[in-house]
Amino acid sequence: MQPLRSLPSFLVAAALLFPSAHSQIIAYQIDEGTVGNQDFGGALGMDFIVNGSITVQELGVFDSGSDGLSRAITVELWSRDDGGTPDVFNDDSGDTILAFSTFGVGEEGTLVGGSRFKPLAAPLELAEGTYTILAHGYGPGERNVNQGGAPNAGLSTADTEFITFVGGSRFGDPAANGQFPNRPDGGPANRYGSGTFSFTTEDTDGDGLPDFWEEANGLDKDNPDDADDDPDSDGLDNTEEFENKTDPNEADTDGDTLNDGEEVNTTMTDPTNADSDEDGLTDEVETNSGTFVSASDTGTDPNNPNTDGDFATDGEEVEAGSDPNDPNDTPPVPFAGFLAVDYLEGAPGTQTFGEGLGHDFIVNEPIRVNALGVFDSG
């Protein structure tokens, strides 16, 4: 474990640098104006995996309220040893601090979203492997974010194949700042608003497709012309496949019988999810005609889980036998509440009396009667 003070300063305060060849990707994004909810002074870190070589350009720290930093906040990028158990995080240890920087009054860097960034003095290449990004120094007047196990819409990790945030995040004792935080937390993987970084990826032929992606999909990283090819004949060229995160060698990435190009350009559905609206019906059967024909041609909108706007999803209506395109045709309302008189299911009747049979009762507190019922013999 290597303490912070043993390393030289890799960072300088300067304006953000955006290389002309590649746009930068922010690994962990926080909406501008997000306000912190915790004043913990120890290290707060997020573990991540690099799936293909990336180049770190900047380090950043969360700025509560996006109104300037009132405390000195230090961000550190660590290489991490997962102990040979990638799915277990309490045995991880920090190998080396690869880069760090301290932000504060007069050295705040540049605000992007809800974080402030400073560029590295020299870009840092990260090979495939395991790493941790963390920050420490938050406290009264400059609070960090702690999602407390519930994902926040204003905090998101980069939607990219190159890095994957894993685990439940981690924290350390304030007295141990500068050391690797060895206490895993309960998640999500981006639990804290603290440290972040931006990175670029290598693109040898300059065709907009990162080398890592081209090599993984059988393309030539030295040939810029293959960006316009469509090897699976699905209507998307390789650039569009990369942008939509589809398989350039599989015409129907999600297996819903709709080609990727059709989903992107015609149905506007998600080509990586066979049930784009998560309503229990695959995109294939949601034909968007407005007319229910059968369970394989529902006429529903594949991008709206409740096409007719009633209380039931399209999938629930098809299963129940009601029309998911007609708000006046709904599934039976499930019973909710208490039964005043409860009969054993399957119990046979014991009498053939044809006149009225009743139970007297007293209401001790106000109640609401939701439904009436009768005994069904057998």
Percent of all residues in the chain with a pLDDT value above 70, rounded to a whole number: 92
Amino acid letter, residue 298: T
- Please give the CATH architecture assigned to the domain spanning 4-201: Sandwich (2.60)
Question: Distance between CA 271 and CA 293 in Å, rounded?
Answer: 24
Question: Distance between CA 260 and CA 235 in Å, rounded?
Answer: 7
Question: Distance between CA 132 and CA 189 in Å, rounded?
Answer: 11
Dihedral (CA of 107, 113, 117, 119) sign: negative
136 bridge partner residues? 74
Residue pLDDT, tens place only, 347-366: 888 888 888 888 899 999 88
Going by pLDDT thresholds of 50, 70 and 90, the confidence category of residue 283 is very high
Please state, in angstroms and as integers, the Cα–Cα distance from residue 38 to each residue in 137, 141, 234, following that order. 12, 10, 49
The answer to pTM > 0.75 is no
Question: Distance between CA 135 and CA 112 in Å, rounded?
Answer: 17
58 bridge partner residues? 119, 198
pLDDT at 150: 64
Burial of 267 (0-12, 13-18, 19+ CB in 10 A): buried
Residue pLDDT, tens place only, 121-156: 999 999 999 999 999 999 999 999 999 866 677 899
Question: Distance between CA 202 and CA 22 in Å, rounded?
Answer: 8
Going by pLDDT thresholds of 50, 70 and 90, the confidence category of residue 12 is very low
Question: Distance between CA 112 and CA 16 in Å, rounded?
Answer: 9
Dihedral (CA of 321, 326, 329, 330) sign: positive
Going by pLDDT thresholds of 50, 70 and 90, the confidence category of residue 42 is very high
Please name the helix (run of DSSP H) or strand (run of DSSP E) that holds residue 54, with its range, or none.
Answer: strand 54-62
Could you write out the DSSP letters of every residue in 231-295?
A: TT-SS--HHHHHHHT--TT-SSTTSSSS-HHHIIIII---TT-SSTT-SSS-TTT---SS---BT
What does the pLDDT average to over 214-219?
Answer: 92
134 bridge partner residues? 45, 76
| DSSP code at position 375 | -
Burial of 115 (0-12, 13-18, 19+ CB in 10 A): buried
What does the pLDDT average to over 56-70?
Answer: 97
Q: Which two tokens stand for residue 68?
A: 């300037």
Q: Comparing C-alpha atoms, which of 125, 117, 24, 135 is closest to residue 74?
A: 135
Could you state, in order of their start, the residue ranges of all structural domains in the chain? 4-201
pLDDT at 1 over 50: no
Going by pLDDT thresholds of 50, 70 and 90, the confidence category of residue 213 is confident
Q: Which two tokens stand for residue 17?
A: 């640098």
